[in-house]
Structure 1
Amino acid sequence: MMDWTDRHCRAFHRQITRHALLYTEMVTARAIRHGDRQRLLGFTEIEQPVALQIGGSEPELLAEASKWGEDFGYREINLNVGCPSDRVQTGRFGACLMAEPELVRDCLGAMRAAVRVPVTIKCRIGIDEQDEEEDFTRFVETVMQSGVTTFIVHARKAWLKGLSPKENREVPPLNYARVYALKKKHPGLTILVNGGIETMDDAVAHLDHVDGVMLGRAAYHTPWILHEVDHRIYGAPQELDVTALDMVERMKPYISKELAEGVWLQNITRHMLGLFHGQPGGKLWRRVLSEEASKPGAGLDVLDKAAAEVASRLKPMNVAAE
């Protein structure tokens, strides 16, 4: 998610789940060629496993960007052809490319030829007037010719004409059945579903039909749900005695290091605002961080103050195993 899942966000999420594959925000291939690659691609080992998501429509540039991603240590390179923003369309990448399946195939083929790590694609079930059955089937089967076998499918159309990016996340109806049908027709593909998944119960239910689930805004706005991932999805022992307050403590070494390197506290804590979502004290947590983390020189004392405000009000947040 552009401007959201930066390295600080991923470092935070990794404290909550050890096993989930984390994705970068989308970075354009052209930016990787001409920009500050360390700023755009750099990450810390504590984030692993992490996948690089890139955008573009030029096979040579995408191949080059993929190689840079592999060299930086990413475990997967993902081509995003699902983002519907105006900025993306102007640059001829994102969801508008679903109208050009042959080009997407060629882009992915070039990317696969350039790297040894897995190359995957994220897409929608269609755009604008495309048919969710015939056109989506043609898109997938054309893209399969590249050798890519993992599809992350946002189960909505993207309406590039008439809807804003926010509306495109909410207005087009979800059609999970279409994603399930793709897996049924092509059982050899690895299919992950995305879109409108708000709870871990929802995620687990989808696994009866597809191979995996991608969480976006739910993971960002209510990050504590990620605490269930390792146990319920990956079968790891459940940490019954761990609370959201422990995540604050786990973040302190990372925050201290970043502050010492000149990073402002707000750049990190903005990703932590939803940690106590729906819990007593959650509003106080958000208020302290929002008001004080942006001040020059703000440090761990702000985090301690926010945590102290909620500690006496926080209800147990553990989820019992079923």
Structure 2
Amino acid sequence: MTINKNIENTQSPRISVAPMMDWTTKDYRFFARLFNPNVILYTEMVTTGAIIHGDAKRHLDFNTEEHPIVLQLGGSNPQDLALCTKMARDWGYDEVNLNVGCPSDRVQNNKIGACLMAEPDLVAECIAEMHNAVDIPVTVKHRIGIDDMQSYEEMLHFVDTVAQTGCDNFIVHARIALLQGLSPKENRDVPPLRYEDVYRLKQERPNLLIEINGGIKTFAETQAHLEHVDGVMIGREAYHNPYLLAELGQLWNLEAPDRFDIINQMLPYIAQRMAEGAPLSIITRHILGLFQNLPGARKWRQALSGGNAKTFADVENAIRNIKENMRRAEDEAKEYQAAL
């Protein structure tokens, strides 16, 4: 059995793409990896029941190019979580993360996600079982609070309780989750960000590896957070504007890749997935943001979305069209500068 050590070998700081349901699929993760070799990629949250009683291969398979990669698990049964953690290790995952942050009604009803912040002893038992089952890192992603448990002291108690198991890596979403009254979408935007709580956690528990998550959209914001914490997890912005991952390469003095080089590397993957029977639309939906904020980006999205791209040739045509739009924009900019 081969254990991957890619995350342990990844250079500091820890920069990651958050687990996002329906978004961080293996197709997106292959695409995201082309921007930056050091960013840590997370799967969507997968419940223990889906793995144990469902199609484990469908939920656990990933492309080798995705390393370093973390499997995020949802569950609250210590034995089930330990079993799935072993399976993740055997499947080749670099790390396993327990979800204690999702505010969805569906997962609450199954005692999964943010509701577990109210039961730190149970989370500690789960983490202890997971940690004892494998020799790869086991981490926790959680909120700064929930419902009537909103104080910094209550979050600190949660972290301290779980840390007693030997877990030393916490990814903290810097918003509370209001499980009664707000939708999952509203819980991503409505509760105010309290970055200072995460900074304080790192100050008061310097021996723990603390990563911050929530509302982070730019390289400059990432740099600012790294003055206070060990890592930054980026969510929706990394999906809608994936070139941000290339910009973050500056943290490791990496040269930014060309967008057209990225799509040229993506084309053989698209052809392979289509040969396997994957509909083109489930792949192209993840690459719509490649030319975000550039001339022709809207036409690129239109060409690939809504089922407009039905064949491989349609993707190639979209590439040619955006190249022409960008060339035309460059010519117009030069003419404008010459006229000044």
Q: TM-score range by the shorter chain?
A: over 0.9
SS state at 2:27 partner = helix
Q: Deviations over 1:92-139 (max 9, x none)?
A: 100000000000000000000111100000000000111321211111
Q: 1:130 aligns with which of 149, 152, 172?
A: 149
Please tell me whether the aligned partners of residues 302 and 308 of structure 2 are also in contact (alpha carbons under 8 angstroms): no
CA–CA distance in 2 between the matches of 1:72 and 1:197?
31
Structure 1 counterpart of 2:106? 87
- Residue 86 of structure 1 deviates from its aligned partner by 1.1
Question: In the alignment, does 2:97 pair up with 1:97?
Answer: no
- List runs of 5+ in structure 2 lacking aligned partners: 1-19, 331-340
- Residue 259 of structure 1 deviates from its aligned partner by 1.1
Sequence identity percentage: 50
> Would the alpha carbon gap of residues 162 and 112 (structure 1) be closer, same or farther in structure 2, given more than 3 Å must change?
same
CA–CA distance in 1 between the matches of 2:253 and 2:219?
15
Aligned residues: 309
Structure 2 counterpart of 1:310? 322
Structure 2 counterpart of 1:277? 292
CA–CA distance in 1 between the matches of 2:70 and 2:291?
27
Structure 2 counterpart of 1:247? 262
CA–CA distance in 2 between the matches of 1:273 and 1:237?
24
SS state at 2:199 partner = helix
Structure 2 counterpart of 1:238? 255
Q: 1:257-272 to 2 correspondence within 5 Å?
A: 257-272=272-287
Structure 1 counterpart of 2:333? none
CA–CA distance in 2 between the matches of 1:237 and 1:111?
35
AA in 2 matched with 1:16: F
SS state at 1:124 partner = strand
- Residue 62 of structure 1 deviates from its aligned partner by 0.2
Structure 1 counterpart of 2:132? 113
SS state at 1:155 partner = strand
Please tell me whether the aligned partners of residues 27 and 55 of structure 1 are also in contact (alpha carbons under 8 angstroms): yes
Q: 1:140-151 to 2 correspondence within 5 Å?
A: 140-151=159-170
In terms of fraction of residues, the more strand-rich structure is 2
AA in 2 matched with 1:308: R
- List runs of 5+ in structure 1 lacking aligned partners: 317-322
- Residue 244 of structure 1 deviates from its aligned partner by 1.6
Structure 2 counterpart of 1:158? 177
Q: 1:68 aligns with which of 87, 104, 109?
A: 87
- Residue 312 of structure 1 deviates from its aligned partner by 2.5
> Would the alpha carbon gap of residues 113 and 293 (structure 1) be closer, same or farther in structure 2, given more than 3 Å must change?
farther
CA–CA distance in 2 between the matches of 1:313 and 1:204?
33
Please tell me whether the aligned partners of residues 77 and 118 of structure 1 are also in contact (alpha carbons under 8 angstroms): yes
AA in 2 matched with 1:278: N
Please tell me whether the aligned partners of residues 303 and 309 of structure 2 are also in contact (alpha carbons under 8 angstroms): no
CA–CA distance in 2 between the matches of 1:6 and 1:100?
30
CA–CA distance in 1 between the matches of 2:314 and 2:34?
19
The TM-score, its normalising length taken from structure 2, stands at 0.88
Please tell me whether the aligned partners of residues 76 and 117 of structure 1 are also in contact (alpha carbons under 8 angstroms): yes
Q: How big is the alpha-carbon RMSD for the aligned residues of Structure 1 and Structure 2?
A: 1.3
AA in 1 matched with 2:223: V
Q: Deviations over 1:199-231 (max 9, x none)?
A: 11111110000000001101001111111222x
CA–CA distance in 2 between the matches of 1:30 and 1:204?
38
